């Protein structure tokens, strides 16, 4: 078991497959760092590999709101608060990543598409060891939960989106009126 490791993502919003990702990584380390990418939602950096990431509608939650939702989600899943922490992870500005996390900390990741493969190359080039825990590329698209799908369901006023969100995170999202915020941004 590793002393510490990290995962990363935008988590806009955090959902059940993120929880699976966190728990798989946490099972392999004593302390898990959760890197929040696009932590400054007012910074409109372009992203040629995954252009949808740069849109305001794709980034409705602040860094703090994502921290709060993920914390609630993990603690509801019986992970002790002392066993995880958060760092900004500027994947779109790779030269800055080492300002937030040491390169000797192993990164656990998932693979869903080319964007994930790009991030692996970026992190390995910086000297990080990257281990893929879950590869979803062979799964039917209908089995993959994405923030885009959830946000689309919210905008369509289809409450099925709530089934994709663990209870702890859902409470936070409902507390900030996530659905109406997203509709105002649209």
Q: Which two tokens stand for residue 30?
A: 């004593």
Structural domains present in the chain: 2-185 (3.40.50.620)
Whole-number pLDDT of residue 115: 87
Whole-number pLDDT of residue 47: 66
Task: From 177, 179, 6, select the one nearest 89 (Cα to Cα).
Answer: 6
| Residue 24 CB partners (closer than 8 Å, separation 6+) | 108, 133, 134
| Residue 33 CB partners (closer than 8 Å, separation 6+) | 4, 5, 6, 7, 84, 85, 86, 87, 101, 105
Query: pLDDT tens track of the chain, all 186 residues?
Result: 999 999 999 999 999 999 999 999 999 999 999 999 999 888 766 666 565 666 888 999 999 999 999 999 999 978 999 999 999 999 999 999 999 999 999 999 999 888 899 999 999 999 999 999 989 988 888 888 999 999 999 999 999 999 999 999 999 999 999 999 999 999
Tell whether pTM > 0.75: yes
Per-residue pLDDT tens over the stretch 60-87: 999 999 999 999 999 997 899 999 999 9
3-state SS assignment for residue 85: strand
């Amino acid at each position: 078991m590793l002393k510490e490791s990290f995962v990363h993502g935008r988590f806009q919003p955090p959902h059940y497959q993120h929880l699976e990702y966190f728990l798989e990584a946490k099972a392999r380390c004593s302390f898990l760092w959760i890197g929040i990418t696009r932590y400054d939602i007012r910074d409109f950096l372009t992203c040629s590999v995954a252009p949808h990431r740069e849109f305001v509608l794709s980034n409705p939650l602040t860094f703090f709101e994502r921290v709060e939702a993920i914390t609630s989600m993990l603690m509801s899943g019986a992970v002790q608060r002392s066993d995880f922490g958060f760092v900004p992870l500027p994947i779109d500005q790779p030269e800055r990543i080492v300002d937030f996390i040491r390169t000797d900390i192993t990164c656990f990741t998932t693979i869903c598409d080319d964007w994930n493969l790009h991030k692996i190359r970026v992190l390995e080039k910086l000297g990080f060891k990257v281990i893929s825990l879950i590869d979803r590329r062979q799964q039917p698209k209908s089995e993959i939960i994405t923030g885009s799908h959830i946000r689309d369901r919210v905008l369509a006023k289809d409450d099925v989106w709530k089934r994709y969100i663990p209870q702890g995170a859902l409470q936070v999202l409902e507390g900030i009126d996530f659905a109406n915020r997203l509709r105002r941004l649209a």
